[in-house]
Structures are given as structure tokens and as C-alpha cells.
Structure 1
Amino acid sequence: MTGTEPAAHEIDTTRPHPARVYDWFLGGKDNYPVDEELGRSITAIDAGAPRAALANRAFMRRATRALAEETGIRQFLDIGTGIPTEPNLHQIAQSVGPDARVVYVDNDPIVLAHANALLRGTPEGVTEYVQADARDPRAILEQAARVLDFDRPVALSLIALLHFVADDEGAHDLVATLVEALAPGSCLVLSTMTADLEPENVHRGIAAYAAGGVTLVARSHAEVGTFFEGLDLLEPGIVSVAHWRPEEAPDTEGPVSLYGAVGRKPPR
């Protein structure tokens, strides 16, 4: 499941990659000069970009803990995992339920190169890594089913993924296919970029990414809501990731232009 074929290890260091730029925002070391260059260009336009990355990461941790503690979910499917940054999702989930089973999914060879860091879980639980493209949800489900029981609730995490997938590229079909495969009681955890809160900075940032060869999509509050149709939103609904059940008062340095929410699949 870890995609060990030689082609999977080929890393293109001539073009920036979103996962590596995100790693640079988080202060990581698993990025290249081309990624740093784009990161610095974006930060020059929007000084809050690294802060948004940190807030998004914190949202993932809080949402994972909330689902493990409050719903008892013990299965997690994280698509668009990115470069490992501790604490990783499985560390949060297995700190609550040591028997939690976690499948990570990404298509970046550099994530594969660090997959061992994602596989150090508890003896009671299972952690696995799937090398696959998010735009092929059926292949992901097929491989994940070797570890996860889709007849039982699963927490599906799409963290900072969908702003790389436009509507005309199948963003809604992608989410619908994945959610349809989940058992009642499963949850969708999602965060994605918005231009609602600081449109000028966000659109300038999108242009900077485009200049680096990366396409981004910003969605409105209503547009993000369409991904949760048929699901019951957990409180506080769709909000900036910094305001989703914060453990302390959000900072006042400025808005975080990422919406985050958690929806639960109701009983049939």
C-alpha cells in the first residue's frame, strides 16, 4: 500500500509543490529552494499565510480529538496528508483510542519518502499510507478498505485539499463518492480556502501561486456548505478554522481565510 515502485520516488525539485510550500509555512525542513521562493512571494503579499497554515493544522488536531472523544470514532481516512508534522493525525487519534486505525493518502513522492514517520503508531492500532491521487476516490476507497471497515463509522479528513480541485475538475463528485461510501455515523472534516474574509490578499495570493504553476480555488461560505449537503453540521458549523472550537481565544492579528467544518452522516 505504500507505493514503493521506483517511479513513486521521483521528486521534481524544479517546480514548487503545495505540500512542500505548506511545510515551509509550518517551519519544516522538507522543502526545496523553489518552494521557499514561492512561500516567500506569498508571504510578501499576505504576511498571515504562515499563520493560516498553523491555524489549519491546529483545526485538524482539534477536530480529530473531538471526533475520537465525543463520537467514539476509531477509524480515520486522511486524504491529502502532506509532509508529516507532529503531532500527526494518528498520534491525536491513538492518544484517545490506542486501537484507532488510520489511513493516510497523498500523491507527492516526498510524502512517500517520509511515510515511515506516519507509520509509527500504537501497537494496538494500525497506521498505513496509500500513494494515490485524491482525484481517484474509488481507487483510494479500494486500497483503504484493506485497513478500514467501511461498514463502521469513519472520519474522513480533507484538510486544505479542495482548494486545489476546481468544481469543473470534479471537486463535488470527489467528495460525494467518498461520503457515499461511509457508514452512518461517519464524519467529514473539511477545510478550504475562502476569499470572504480578506478578498484582496487572497486573490493576490492565488495569483502568486498561479505564477508558480499551482492553481487554487477560493470558495464562499455558501459554496463550502454544498460539500456538506445531507450531513448534520457539528457546532459551530462552517467558520474560519481559527474559530472552530478554539482551545484559547483566537489571535487578533487578522482573519484566517480558511473555512473549516465537521459534518456527520445521519442514520439511514
Structure 2
Amino acid sequence: MNLEFYKPKNTLLQKYIEGFYFIVEDSTSDPLIYRTFPNNYVIIAIAQNIALTHRDGMMIITPSQENNIVSNIIYRYNTPIEISYLKLINEITIYFKPLGLNSFIENVDFFYSKDHTRKIEFDPYTDFKPEMEKIFNITNRQKQIETLELYWLSKFREKDVSLAEELIQDIEADAKITELANKYQISRQYLSKIFQKNVGKSPSEYRKIHRFRRSIMEKNKAKNLTELSCDNLFYDQSHFIKDFQDLTHNNPKFFFKNVDTEKENVWLFI
């Protein structure tokens, strides 16, 4: 698969964007199917000249004779998504950090209020699709990256999300919701509302996915799965196994045997 992952070069963008990858069109390629697993990034997928079908946890991408730009946002998923390509197409996918998109979109909660189980079109600016079309048509990869970064920098507007940042830090440290409500002197309901508006999911969803993702990163440091579960704030090994089954539809042993967790993108190829 012609897949390349890049970290932002611009130091400002590094604060907000984890990275982006490019898939390059290849009319001779075989069909490609893989599963991607829940994470706390906000994902913007932009593709050129395609038809996209979304149903029952699957995205089916096929080349189209129509000249178009199809762009979608994925901000919340709790089970694997199966991605199926009939042929490889031109695609740029951007991984925004949990609060990253907030500083580029005036009302990011407009997207977070939509039904996350359905396809959500992402077209936030009048020049978005025309500029993405231009970027796809740049043949030099480094120039393409530079132009993509300059575009996002042109949309940057720093926003105060300090309360949401503190809540994320506390949730990642496994603080309980009641404790946080008391700490910030707000109701549990208002705390959850702040989280949903700024992050796109509930605190409990974020915590569950954070534990899962951290355990993947820490896998090679642990002697066994029992140690891995204890080191990553799971109550016990049964809790660890249950969360893995919920989020991957597989048990941890199968997952770690079949998925290359050293890659930037943790995918299961089918």
C-alpha cells in the first residue's frame, strides 16, 4: 500500500495536529480492506474523485468518473471501522489532537452535535474544497505538504480552551467525574456538556479510549498482559480484556499478534 505518514513541520501546527497521511491513486492496485480502531483524535479524511458509501461500521470507497472532493469528519467511534477500497485513490487524512480542531473552526461543536454514527460532511470554509483540489494536483510531495500546512495556518485563530485542557489531563490521570465536578465547582452535567462541546465525546468515552491507546503504546514495556493492564489504570485484567473486546472486537492476545502496534496507524489488514 502506497501510504506515507508525516508529522507537521511547522512548530505551531505540531501543537494541534498529530500528523497526516497520504494515499496515492493506483489503478493497478488490488482491493484493500483494513480495520481502524477507536482513538481520541479528530480525523478529517479528504479524497479526490471518489464515491463513498457508509453503512454499519463500514466505509466503502470506489473511484468515480465525477470530478469531486469528498471530505468527512470522524470525531467519535467506539467500535472498529472497516475501510474498503476497490482501488487506491488520492486521499489526505489529517489527525487533529483532541482539542486541535477548535483553533481552526469557529464553532466546532456544530460538527460534534451531529450523529456520529453517520457520514458527516466536512466543508467548513468556502475555499476548502477548491484549495484541497489544488493540493491534490501538486505532484511534488514536499511542496504538497508545505501548501497543506500553509492553508491550515491561514485558518488558525487561537482559542481559550484551558478548562477543557485541564479536564482532559484529569481524565487521563483517571480522576472521577464527581471529583472533577467538586474540583471545578460545577455540576456533573455541566462538566459533561463542556467535554462534549469541546472534545466531541463524553469523559467516560475519552477515558476508555485513552486507556486502550496508552496500553498499545506501552505494550513492549510490560512483561505480560497482567502487568500491562495494571500499568494503564485498568481495574484488573478482566476489565482490560473487556475494554479490548469492546473497542477492537478481539481479545488482547489476538490483537497484539495481528496488528503492528509500532506503526503510526494501528490498523488490522484483512
Q: Larger radius of gyration, structure 1 or 2?
A: 2
- What's the TM-score, normalizing by structure 2? 0.30
- What's the TM-score, normalizing by structure 1? 0.30
